[in-house]
Structure 1
């Protein structure tokens, strides 16, 4: 597991109540209810026995004068957005864990203020001046430990680096907030995180699976949860509507150029750049076609226009393949909406003092080629899992996030060990593997060759190894891909990886 980050967590107690009632605590006895269940309550209500998770009737039985209000999650989000914006002005890179709980990397702000404790005091002073005196701050290795520290008895708590395990040890296992495993641990007599971490990690994994192993690492302070940037401001969204629907991709791309410039201007005014964008295309039938696009660095106006054109070309190609499917067909485009999905601080993407580096020049060159060839004209390779060579690589268009359909870290029995062939044939090429008498070699059900390989593709065989069987999905009715592999070296010192299916031989790859 990756080394945990030093993070700073800001917790605003009873935030849903503050969003509903307005103003800082103390608040009158109030409970927020959803589906007749208390989801949040004020400190004054808790003094009379009201608790989250109680049924509404039980809570009112503890306090007849309890004020009951419906819970509105969207209201919590809206009320917390100005707080995130305020924090962002003093500490860029803040992320929302949930309304009332924010996290940011501690390194930058602590170096600016001369230490983590000083940074926490500075942020607390800013928030107190803004009318948020109830804020509690925790600094630790990872968001989980920092949140526990923020919920502690002191307004500001700094857990020294590397001491998260000792800090968490006395806390009950319920702080892991899992629906099943804490209850099982309590029934087994394990009540604190310290007792949990004392159990061998291998035995925890065997007993509780991957989820238990994750919680065991979390209890030991090995928190590697990534920080996700906060949602972009809705004011960054731009859209354009056309009085007459436009049918051509180039027409739409030309018409939205000013809208794309507007998105970049709005981002620039907020000192932000966009790294992920969603484009919504509405046709004259009212159907909306949406797609999310990623960028290796950050979007400019030309990149946005290119994505819109590529999205239209993909829709036109899809419509041409299945023109009968009216549900998927689209007419002219009547509206385009550009929605920044992920943003980053513009300072992280500024060129160096003496110009851009090699990576930046490479990006611009590849992007120009992609603009000329189309979205799938430039692809990058990523490692995937699988038994066949063609399955172990995934080609992704430049700028997109590679998604491996099969986990490369899992064991793949029957897969080829390193070193792998330098050249992989997609699809496999037919090839001849013959015996000394010129007959084609076959492989029987037991995996035995009918004769020793003598010639491959007309060349003399110098050496060979195998065969090794591969039979995927043997339990299914039709079975899966199956065959027998051989490694063969010919008299031209070329090493081949070939396999036999039925009576035919195929070249899967070649060593160089």
Structure 2
């Protein structure tokens, strides 16, 4: 796609919901919704007709539509089922670039020459997408961002009319497509609304200096989109060929997990070369060669420069799509190649001062990837803050390289959550302990959620200590609406401070599981 070429965007509405239905064999006549952290992130047209909306809580969505089919968000699944669609479009008009699963773009010049006009090309691509099993909408415009927004309205924007097309649209349109932004733009849109800028045209009337000085870098990119200007900065350039990296696969790869490990190694090598060249990648070509001589290639375009984790994700998604589609390669993969199609100065990749992708971080990542390759994908895990009430529930361990998505949203209020600070050490085996009153009788938690007697002693194995203080108990009454998850007997937590000479066990978190107390955590 050349810099001044008009752009065609093909968008498959509600793609995560369609992919979830395809993965489970659900009929298209049933409403489907995809959830992340208990919120709707995508839903089918049938679900929307019943009142389901993005951002709804699960219980609200199910109350609107009791027959709703629930699926969890899965980027790997979305990419795997989108690959046949991308392949069908690429076979019709070469030069496809995937922005995300469900959305791709290509230069319209070749399609127009072959089919005769933009309208005819759009109809041909919609037919090709339908033959591959999905509905699509086409948008054509002078710039990529305008074409993507036009695809949401199934519109072909005449040349030099991009700004006029965008002007009457609500400013919320700037935030509906995540592949066009480097960050979440919901706060920006909310601020623009409060300033009285309700339409994209109102925002476009501001000067670039006013936007950059008041709102920041991503707002400046959104302002270029609102003015229908090209989104790539002038510093974007073609990558020198020596930045491409290739990996010979010995033994040949025919499994997804093995391909993902090789992809992570290759991603590390690519970003090492990019760092040495003071560059960052914005368009990445992934190529695989099989033992039978077949060559598969796909280009991914990104709104922001890729990090090593971003690159590893896209390699995993692409290989999963190639190796699991119906017309999968007839032989194992013997070589993988990554080629940065377009790069920008490395300064465009803004990373945090702490925990950034520095040299030490890269060395640690390479070491962990090597351990993972030797011991398996589940051998190396990263902790992610999770939603929950207990300390163990608030940590989700995710395999290295997978999307760092918690199973429950940590920003929710979680009434009854254990107060801060959290225990320094969690005891996975939860050893039993005895909590005793001053006369030596066992202390329990009553049905009213109170101690049966004031605790005075704690016995752990052969050792016993007096208590200097205690807090609690805090009853646990979770999932009372579920017959499977509801507590059938008193359950509670408590904190105790011991008169112990060992400083590392002076303060404990206890959990009461009728009729026994267990040590759950240790405070410093």
TM-score for the superposition, normalised by structure 2: 0.45
Larger radius of gyration: 1
TM-score for the superposition, normalised by structure 1: 0.46
